[in-house]
Homo-oligomer: A and B are copies of this chain.
């Protein structure tokens, strides 16, 4: 049995693979499709083929080069897509999920330049049993309607609740006894929310030891819509592995001017043979004012229950049930349903899908 490390990129330079070659370039990704039935209260139920309910459908080209002396260089390009129709997630921003080049030192950490996650998102999504995707995604209660601090800061345009352009990041080295983290800022030139070129600063700090993992993060965004004060987006969370179950808890607090939003999530992963049961409960609490409008009443609660059955290390079938109950004028829904739900409505969904890593 012979080991082969694929050295794609070097082929073009006429080089061959040898014992000293520590470089690798890979093409990998995920394709995930499923059927989802969504019932928004007062509206007809709708069943559609959806993409990425267990993991976002994507294509990545990435690699690292071991330069020697503890130094390495790396790159990562990642493109999201909708397997239902073949469209890029963002047609004008093809490598929307990540575009970075890095220089890393085993003692001094990694410098990473380009488009990547913001710290608060990383320290939020990792505590979501549903990985921030699908019918029960923790994202359903984050950036959707009604107007709160996020929509007041970004309108309906690209925003920085997940990723930011033009990041300069420094990540801690990996040998700090379980401590990990990063500091970042963006250098985008203009700060128009509509162009997605916000002025963002943030950091993340985490610690893992034995069954416990905890983390906190803080991100601040300024743009042309935040004249009344920067948007701040913070989170603190943890996860504990009891063996029979892993439990998570996380709080995300978002604030801009007089508007606040607090999301609280409890999650659980329960291994069952070749499968896993996943459960989450999340509450979004709006408070304060957007301009003159009081937004306190527009809260929501989401419950999600899922089962993932691995067929192999790379392929799985999954099913998820989820329900969002809005209060006040809240119109948060699970995507894929009939549009036009009245404020305070309930959105329910069940989905069944196939996820394949490559």
Which residues of A come within 8 Å of B, CB atoms?
1-13, 16-19, 23-29, 31-35, 46-49, 57, 59-63, 65, 67-68, 71, 73-75, 77, 81-88, 91-101, 103, 111, 113-115, 165-168, 186-189, 196-197, 311-312, 314-315, 317, 336, 354-358
Contacts and interface: CB of A to CB of B under 8 A. Distances in A.
* Chain B CB within 10 Å, residue with most, of A16, A73, A167: A73
> For the complex formed by this chain, how many copies does it contain in all?
3
A18 to B, nearest CB: 5
Contacts of A83: 99-101, 113-115
Nearest to A72: B315
Given A1-B18, A49-B186, A85-B115, A28 B13 contact: yes
A35 B73 CA distance: 18
B48 A29 contact: no
A28 to B, nearest CB: 4
B113 A73 contact: no
B28 A8 contact: yes
A101 B27 contact: no
Given A10-B26, A47-B187, A77-B81, 4 more contacts: A2-B18, A3-B18, A31-B101, A71-B311
Given A75-B31, A356-B101, A5 B16 contact: yes
A69 to B, nearest CB: 10
12 contacts: A3-B17, A6-B6, A6-B11, A31-B101, A49-B114, A49-B168, A68-B312, A73-B354, A83-B100, A85-B196, A86-B99, A86-B115
